[in-house]
Structure 1
Amino acid sequence: MDIRYGLLVVILPLVAQATDITLQPEGVGGGGLSPIGSFFKQSEIDISSKNYWKALNEEESGEKRIHNAWGQGATVAFHSGDIAGIFGVDATWNYVIKLGATDYFNSRGVLYSSGPESKKSNAAGFNKFGQRNLRMQYIEGDSSAKVRWGWLPLKDIGVISDSSRLSVTTYFGWYSRLAFGKFSLQGARVTKSMSRSSPDSEHFLTNDKKTIRALSSLDLRWNGAAGEIRYALGESSDYLSRHIFQASIKPTPMLTLKSQVYLTRALSHYREMPETRKDFDRRAQHFTIEARSTSPLWQTRWAASYTRAAKKSGVGTYPFHMSKNSRGTFNGMAKAGNDYNRDREAVLSGLVGYKLTPALTAGITGSIGRFSYQSVPVVTGEINAFTRWVMHQPSSKVLSLLAMVGPGWSYQALNGKTPKLADGHPIRAKSFASELILEYKFKGL
């Protein structure tokens, strides 16, 4: 590793702290500024740096594989003021430096793969303008209309979502939102994406790598003091269609109860794929119930989930994403990589955290799942210890550290998620995962 790359880990936070580049707004509603003047005077520039290390040691293929990626990222985000309170722009620039990698690094989603194989020699940094879009809004009392077009992140918008490592997954297309009181309706249609670990613009693909024209989605929500109800539907053109139902209630200020239902159906292009490329045959469902409790010192979260994803030729799985090169909305606890989504798999998940100091939290999280294959019970699981330290500083500066480490147990697989059996029992596969994130944010005012 070049020593200058290691120094960047220390230097970037200091530069962000020493450089005050925020453009201050002059009063609410423009403070007498001209419509064009508000575009510049009310703009914000946010700077952040993130050091990300993510590793996995596993043997599901029958041989020991180490997936390790380490990188340093910097982000500059520009958010303009609104011309006449209506028109604005957003742009985000990301710069990522490779600090270290092994073979199979690409599964960690941290570094760019400059070649077709996941060899450590292909691991590289990258830079890109991940977000660049035009926005328009109209607000009147408790009603509003908003539209964005261009490259933009989409967090849980209908069936489409994004993901973040050293940059955020972004999509090309449009997004709109109508809100009236406690109700909101959101919609999006996107045709390309840029991965969280790549500067390349890519089309959406089927499992057999055929192009999908677009992802489309709608999202209807009701938010009240006592809870939230949400219904979303969406489609990856002629490939998969999906419905999502989510509801939550708060019986007490410290207790939240949630339920989630995910329904996915195969469309024509999916049904035409070779059997070996399918996750399930015709339909797949995932169901989750959850209880979350918070107090000044403790936080707990418990969930139970169940999957149905029948497949004749092996163990079927519920696909979290609507296509390759996209991310799907999934808010259940039963998600760790591609695990806990197998046909007839029941999963229990839990998290317990304790606030040691106002800035430091430590705890344990884990999941255990069980399904059957050829009448043979198969158990998988993991447990992780975690700690999170967050220090808020003056002028909206935030320094945070997250660490997580722990073992897991699964099985060796033939293809997809179908277990290898020996003497009527699945062949065990152990794993050990670790993650470390150091992040510094300097947020404009």
Structure 2
Amino acid sequence: MKKLILLGLISASCVAQAAESSHYQFLDKLAENSFFKDTKVDLTLRNYWKYLKENEAQPKEVHSAWGQAFGLDYKSGYFLDFIGFDATYTGVIKLGASDYFSTRGLLYNDGTGMNKDNAKGFSKIGQRYVKIKLGNDEVKFNGKYGWQILKNYGVLTASNRLSQNSYLGYSGILSYGHLSLDTAYVTSAINRDSPNKVHFQTKDKKNIDYIFTSGLTYKDQDLFLTYNYGEAEDYQRRHVIETAYKPTEQLTLGSQIYGSYALDEYKNMAASKKEYDNHAWHYAADAKWQEQVWSMKFGIAYTQAKKENAVGNYGRHIAGNSRGRFNALTSAGVDYMRDGELALTAVGTYNFIDELTTGLQINYGQFDYKDNTVRTGELNIFNRWAPTDPRLKNLSVFSMFGYGWSYKHGRDDKTPTLDHNNKYQRSPSLSGEVIIEYRFNLL
């Protein structure tokens, strides 16, 4: 009897060991699955202060906001080499704010008007989407459905302040060699300074059901060429052409063309809400020379945006609560995109040491209005410190401070307000921003 009991105990122990071994083998096999093996988790700490003092459309005002963001970015691998899931969580803490803080795009405006008491922190899951991939090294397709950030995707883009804006919908990229075709259909958005889902809107606050966009891109070592088309339902139609060509290792030549056409909902708006009457175009070109420790970049641009009895402008965004793709140098503190405006830009950088880049940017624009040559400009000094020490390799500190001069105009348009002598009135401004960012690779 004792022998039978002992034999039973030995057998049970062997079965348990075999089960435990099988269990660990299963876990080991699971860990080797690409869905888990290729998973990445990053933590980003981002501190952002942004400041502007100006009196263009009201008495002298300070626009200032300061906040701290904590971002957790999860990217899975692909299960069965086909399907995966990504998500991004962001939490923002308010550190400081003035009246008009909401123009800086950092903190949530939890109220009406421009009162600093409305400034709040917020949290959101800005990205959460299912992703799939098909094909091989030669021809492949990547698709997404859900809330996603679309950076320079068709005519849409994203803006990164303390968080990024995201869109709800479908997107996909079909790639073959140096060619790629991307398409997106989105129906809602979450803005960069808010946790709330919002509709796309016209300038007179009517909802837009969708934005559709698609683009064809060619890219190799020396040439980048892309054409993109987009439409906000019955509101605006948009074209984007961007090129960059490197004839030599040091020289890069670029050009950008952006065009917008009015559709029925846009045409039916009151004139005071319109940025242009029927269509607007912005043409830009630039040249950059890059050496090991310094660089110089020059740009020139011109805008056509006719508007009856007013100064029209090329609006960057195809609809309210979206961000429009715009990569010309004329995107600055004050966008140089008014009708008939010629803009000149210059940016120079120098690396005094390997870790520190110092730069100077000069912007100048002018256009004619009722016998006035209206001149605007900016002078900005910026620094970027990116340590090379391995212990600080994911740290970056950026700062920019500048002086600008513009002109007084109405709150809702870009038309100059003239004095009793029919002369435009200059409006100086001071601006600054500091960004401190650190990234941790948790997995």
TM superposition score normalised by structure 2: 0.91
Q: How much does 1:42 deviate?
A: 2.4
The residue number in structure 1 matching 2:256 is 260
The residue number in structure 1 matching 2:428 is 430
Distance in 2 between residues matched to 1:240 and 1:338, nearest whole Å: 23
Give the AA of the match of 1:288: A
Secondary structure of 2:187's aligned partner: strand
Give the AA of the match of 1:436: V
Q: How much does 1:40 deviate?
A: 2.3
> Does 1:420 pair with 2:417?
yes
Query: Per the alignment, do residues 220 and 33 of structure 1 end up closer, same or farther by CA in structure 2, a change over 3 Å counting?
Result: farther
Give the AA of the match of 1:202: V
Distance in 2 between residues matched to 1:224 and 1:95, nearest whole Å: 38
After the TM superposition, which residues 40-55 of structure 1 pair with which residues of structure 2 at under 5 Å, given as runs? Answer: 40-55=36-51
The residue number in structure 2 matching 1:442 is 440
The residue number in structure 1 matching 2:323 is 327
RMSD: 1.5
Distance in 2 between residues matched to 1:337 and 1:279, nearest whole Å: 19
Q: How much does 1:441 deviate?
A: 0.7
The residue number in structure 1 matching 2:15 is none
Structure 2 regions of 5+ residues with no counterpart?
Answer: 1-27
The residue number in structure 1 matching 2:399 is 403
2:30–2:36 Cα contact (<8 Å) kept = no
Query: Per the alignment, do residues 201 and 337 of structure 1 end up closer, same or farther by CA in structure 2, a change over 3 Å counting?
Result: farther
User: Identity percentage over the alignment?
Assistant: 39
Give the AA of the match of 1:411: Y
Distance in 1 between residues matched to 2:140 and 2:391, nearest whole Å: 30
Query: Per the alignment, do residues 172 and 277 of structure 1 end up closer, same or farther by CA in structure 2, a change over 3 Å counting?
Result: same
Give the AA of the match of 1:258: G
Give the AA of the match of 1:416: D
Q: How much does 1:443 deviate?
A: 2.7
- Tell me the alpha carbon deviations over residues 227-269 of structure 1, each in whole angstroms, 9 at most, x when there is no partner: 1111100000000001111222111011100111111100000
Distance in 1 between residues matched to 2:96 and 2:57, nearest whole Å: 24
The residue number in structure 1 matching 2:134 is 138
The residue number in structure 2 matching 1:67 is 63
Distance in 2 between residues matched to 1:162 and 1:376, nearest whole Å: 36
Secondary structure of 1:160's aligned partner: coil
Distance in 2 between residues matched to 1:129 and 1:397, nearest whole Å: 27
Distance in 2 between residues matched to 1:148 and 1:135, nearest whole Å: 4
The residue number in structure 1 matching 2:22 is none
Distance in 1 between residues matched to 2:215 and 2:415, nearest whole Å: 34
Secondary structure of 1:270's aligned partner: helix
Distance in 1 between residues matched to 2:385 and 2:94, nearest whole Å: 25
2:237–2:260 Cα contact (<8 Å) kept = yes
1:89–1:135 Cα contact (<8 Å) kept = yes
The residue number in structure 2 matching 1:302 is 298
2:345–2:364 Cα contact (<8 Å) kept = yes
Distance in 2 between residues matched to 1:115 and 1:99, nearest whole Å: 18
Distance in 2 between residues matched to 1:431 and 1:42, nearest whole Å: 48
Q: How much does 1:366 deviate?
A: 1.9
1:80–1:88 Cα contact (<8 Å) kept = yes
1:193–1:204 Cα contact (<8 Å) kept = yes
The residue number in structure 1 matching 2:11 is none
Give the AA of the match of 2:192: R
Larger Rg: 2
Distance in 2 between residues matched to 1:62 and 1:88, nearest whole Å: 50
Structure 1 residues 50-59 or 328-337, which shifts more? 328-337
Q: How much does 1:168 deviate?
A: 0.8
